[in-house]
Chains A and B, each alone.
Chain A
């Protein structure tokens, strides 16, 4: 279990902001931090990793003290925390090949099967390439593989899945899930994407201006209680087309685009780009393999 109870004053664009966390995170779970940008999500990860020192409070991991401000300030060095960290900019070492990056991370006398890691992240063919020659998605998988190569107990992912197209995103989500299970990790990630949080995480924590505003199982957090129907999917409005008395609206749900007709009155309250929920009690879908 990870017990965090810290305060840290951060500089935000709107002036100083106090990051005030009091959390207990369970072992072997995937935990997601979400919330608008500049609310201290990344800082929370950096504090746990030891890259940023809190002003006061304490951090305990499995009963071991990692940080405490009382009676004397003590902070375990990042080197001794054994944390795998996937940085937003990946932080791959440009002077080393993919394999050398992994070897550098693994060289601590631990028996790590790097070939298996490369296979898991589908990087086998790229082992001897320099990071600069890889695509964004490939670089991300290298960053993930490298973080795993050091056999961490805790894996931290700082918005690893942003700025990627859907298929690459899915591939990495799969890698994260597989690795999480196989290496029995406690994984903490920062994400903007609700769908991703539901898919990946066991526990979600929403931050707002440095404070925890709500936390819980993502399915409970994100399900809209006002909508009584049993079956719900969320999507986005792409386009409207006027037709006699009704309006045909084009929707994007997951990666499928389809059209449906709605009343004029309803259409007036909606705009292109709005996030919507489709709800129904009459749910008799057919199942197809992709």
Chain B
């Protein structure tokens, strides 16, 4: 039972990180170079999860996608998509919730790259996309790693959003952070401690690895 929950947590974090990476690279690259008037609005929206209580996101998510609601009902009837109390819903909410943790490092990484690198590639006839993939991204590897690890760890650590949107369905939406709360409620401290210890150690190891790598302690690996 413990392992099912931990596996689900890991699965959620991996899937979320993967989709976040896909979304955040174009988004961050747009934010890093745009002078558009809507940029401050987009930046604000991306950063909102940093300060907003997770329960707020969870609440609106619940309201929007609940089958009792017009939009949620439409999704359910036309596409058979049920986002409330389901794993895909959990992923979607986690993506929103961890968005700033992926976008911010990539955005500041890209902004720190000398603009002449990009310009040089354009003058060589390279498209924006090729420039991004072959020139810019390889030069911000530490930022990419930081973004990936932070969103991964943050997804593991989320509680409020998951509880609101996912509920507590074993094997479907019951992740480790919720399991801990559950066990403590039931005065089952032994089990709670098992979850907590695993999370504590895993999180420590992940972050430690990031600092080692980005601090260039592994020179041969990270050149």
B113-143 contacts to A (CB < 8 Å): 114, 116-117, 119-127, 134-135, 138-139
- Evaluate contact between A85 and B120: CB separation under 8 angstroms: yes
A44-90 contacts to B (CB < 8 Å): 49-51, 77-85, 87-89
Interface status of A240 (Cβ within 8 A of chain B): no
Interface centre among A51, A77, A84 (most CB of B within 10 A): A51
| Binary flags per residue of B39-51, CB closer than 8 Å to A gives 1, else 0 | 0000000000000
Interface residues on A, range: 20 to 34
- Evaluate contact between A104 and B114: CB separation under 8 angstroms: no
A216-261 contacts to B (CB < 8 Å): none
Interface centre among B116, B124, B134 (most CB of A within 10 A): B124
- Evaluate contact between A79 and B122: CB separation under 8 angstroms: yes
- Evaluate contact between A85 and B139: CB separation under 8 angstroms: no
Selected contact of A91 from candidates B119, B127, B134, B138, CB within 8 Å: B119
| CA of A169 to CA of B161, assembled, Å | 62
- Evaluate contact between B119 and A87: CB separation under 8 angstroms: yes
Interface status of A150 (Cβ within 8 A of chain B): yes
Interface status of A175 (Cβ within 8 A of chain B): no
| CA of A81 to CA of B119, assembled, Å | 13
Interface centre among A50, A87, A95 (most CB of B within 10 A): A95
Return B182 CB to nearest CB of chain A, in Å: 47
- Evaluate contact between A93 and B135: CB separation under 8 angstroms: yes
- Evaluate contact between A85 and B125: CB separation under 8 angstroms: no
- Evaluate contact between B134 and A84: CB separation under 8 angstroms: no
Interface status of A105 (Cβ within 8 A of chain B): yes
- Evaluate contact between B119 and A85: CB separation under 8 angstroms: yes
A4-50 contacts to B (CB < 8 Å): 49-50
Closest chain B residue to A84, Cβ basis: B123
Closest chain B residue to A156, Cβ basis: B123
- Evaluate contact between B114 and A95: CB separation under 8 angstroms: no
A78-B119, A95-B138 known; A150 vs B125 contact (CB < 8 Å): yes
| CA of A165 to CA of B4, assembled, Å | 67
- Evaluate contact between A89 and B114: CB separation under 8 angstroms: yes
Residues of A within 8 Å of B139, CB to CB, are 93-95
Residues of A within 8 Å of B126, CB to CB, are 79, 104
Interface status of A167 (Cβ within 8 A of chain B): no
Selected contact of B124 from candidates A51, A77, A94, A105, CB within 8 Å: A105
Residues of B within 8 Å of A93, CB to CB, are 117, 120-121, 135, 139
Residues of A within 8 Å of B134, CB to CB, are 104
| CA of A51 to CA of B117, assembled, Å | 12
Interface status of A281 (Cβ within 8 A of chain B): no
- Evaluate contact between B125 and A89: CB separation under 8 angstroms: no
Return A113 CB to nearest CB of chain B, in Å: 18
A89-B116, A91-B116 known; A79 vs B135 contact (CB < 8 Å): no
Selected contact of B123 from candidates A83, A94, A95, CB within 8 Å: A83
| CA of A150 to CA of B119, assembled, Å | 14
Residues of B within 8 A of A (CB): 114, 116-117, 119-127, 134-135, 138-139, 223
Given A91-B114, A105-B124, 14 further pairs, Cβ under 8 A: A50-B123, A79-B124, A80-B125, A81-B123, A85-B120, A88-B116, A89-B114, A93-B135, A95-B138, A104-B121, A104-B124, A104-B126, A130-B223, A150-B124
25 A–B contacts from the bound complex (CB under 8 Å): A49-B123, A50-B123, A51-B119, A51-B122, A77-B122, A79-B124, A79-B125, A79-B127, A80-B125, A81-B123, A83-B123, A85-B119, A85-B123, A89-B116, A91-B114, A91-B117, A93-B117, A93-B120, A93-B139, A95-B135, A95-B139, A104-B134, A105-B124, A108-B125, A130-B223
